[in-house]
Structure 1
Amino acid sequence: MLTPSIIDPVARNIVIITTTLSTLMVIEYIWSFTDEIRLVWPRFLKTTEAKIYVVTRYAGVAGQSFNIWFAFRMVSGAPNSPSTCRAWYLYQTLMTQCLLLSVESLLMLRVYKMYRKGKSICALLTVFGGAQLAANAASVRSVITGISYTPTCVIISPHHSRIYVGVSIIVTFMVILSTMLWRFFGSSSGLSEAPRAWLKLAVRDGSCTTIAIMMIFIFMFLCNTRVINTQMSGNIIFYVLFSFLWFAAGRIVLHHAKFRNIQGDINDPRLTQTIEVDPDDIRPFDDSDACPTSPSDFEVESTEVSTPFDSMSDAGTRDIADGHLCGEDNMQLSRCAPTFILIERCISGRGSGFKK
């Protein structure tokens, strides 16, 4: 058993780290609250992403409040029974796994849409996600029972099986990122601006999340293998990982919601109105130089131009990755019908012009 002179600094550092991370979480919550009300809550009953966001957001806030309370209990020196400490470590494992599943599910939904919701990519993601979940479940008992801890539940040395858990998590995130990059570099060159921007956003979120996860678990590997010898490693990994996954889940959903909102503004139907022209009301230009009025100098040709404005008018109301705008079974053919505009073209030896 460690003496109080050794326990107190470790517990005090845990309180400092937990309080700092909690402050950052509060700032993030306040900063994004307006976007949450405006973009997420209206879609809560419609999309899986909104449900994951809300559950993760508020369960994370409640969990972090409990983390702060227990950290202050540690620093106070109040002893706990072995069953209480095991329950505390079980809580850490379950909360971490739930947050991991939330972030992985959000990224997997991006990949699923990238590959047009194909069965092959769905099977691949299911296999790796299920394998990672099974590996974590198999290691729970050894991780909890193999930890050495003090009466205040400060970890003295973590169990080596945490390495295997970390490897399975890193592999899953690497598979997700690899499929994103494969799709991005393989097909982005032939896409229009909006789908390409959506792919860039998905790849950016996936890359940042994967890199951060790798850094956290590589640090854990180095500590467990005694390359970095510090008692703080076993005590801070949970708090750092908990806060990061909470941030990541919220940012992934909000970034996608903001993109959908901006894309809707760009494709506002008011910007793509059909121009109706009365053929009987067509008159020559007032500028005689551009279109001379002398019957001997010009002739008039009527040309019909097809413009798919009607089919584009609903572009902003749908998700970029959800499918095609026209040709679906549940879409009326009238929305895909072309609009014809009569154009009068003036041809002469001195110049030419046209009028709608």
Structure 2
Amino acid sequence: MCQNPSSVPDPNPSPSASPGPSRNPDRNPSPGAEERCRGDLKKQALVEDLARRLSSGDAAVRVQAARDVRRFARASVKSRSAFAVASIVHPLIAMLPSPDHDAREAALLALLNLAVRNEGNKDKIVKSGALPHLVELLRSGKNGLRDLATAAVLTLSASAPNKPTIATSGAVPLLVQILTAGSIQGRVDAVTALYNLSSCEDTSNFILPSEAVKPLLTLLKDCKRYSKFAEKATGLLEILSRTEEGRNLISEFDGGILMLVETIEEGSLLSAEYAAGVLLSFCSSCREKCRELILKEGPIPGLMLLTAEGTKKARERAHNLLELLRDDSKKKRVASKDLEILVYDIATRVDGPVKAAVTAKRIMEDMVRRDKELTFTKLHPRRCQ
């Protein structure tokens, strides 16, 4: 309980003390401290009132209390922390399996707002047992409840400690179903949730079903190649391309390879890195079968550009992919003069006409260096181990 210390008499008064405010904050608290104290008491009383109403036997009272929690949690980060106590979180979770639509909706929205931008609250909600109810709502929720459950799983999956728990909860195949049959917002949230879960420290916890290939490519086809959404979709496609079934489904999708080539050319640095990874998986697994499939979509300019301005991993992937796409026969090999023209054109796009010559020279020297390294590795494999 907060008490005004100025009301307590000084047990050792000093007659010689000069008048004026004391430097001891315990004796003369600032108006700001008193205000904060009163605010804390008021908030504590509010928490107790909400907890009491959430445990009421009256369904309408519980629903209104949940709506009030949502409203207060939206106010600030501090409010979210203050209201995420067991006496509030547990009754909200208990409302999730309710047969009453309004009760489930109010509880979902309240929990969502408690979790937003608060890692501690996200962990607390999962540890309090919300996940099985959310998974059930992903499976059978209707009238917008499934979308809210998807948004809740997305929010909770942003916390690293929650990822293994969610990844092994049965939520992943249900999120993949939402990619196909969910609302637009539901599909967007499902992609983001799956992308979050894909970064589990133990990758064996996250198994992405191959059924995700078609809806992911469909979503990628309809979005901007440089968008954050494209990054997530392409990142998931890279994971799927590590299996033969995933690669087959990507190659069978009308325009699938072309979309990946376009992503390398037009996407963000991260999207281009992922897309190059997908194509590299194709060529590494079956060069003869996939080489012509990729080459007919014209990937060389984009890959050359990626070797100059991509991320470190993207540059490595682009170099390796270019090596695999090369034709070893003299008849079809690109003439060195044609290659120089292509590199100069790419350098112009990267650094402009003034610096193009220097950039083109650097790219050509890098390609020659890597070619020598690869030749040496083939001739002296033991020295490179």
Q: One fold, TM greater than 0.5? A: no
Report the structure, 1 or 2, having the larger helix content. Answer: 2
Higher relative contact order (CA 8 A, sep 6+): 1
TM-score by structure 1 length? 0.20
Report the structure, 1 or 2, having the larger strand content. Answer: 1
TM-score by structure 2 length? 0.18
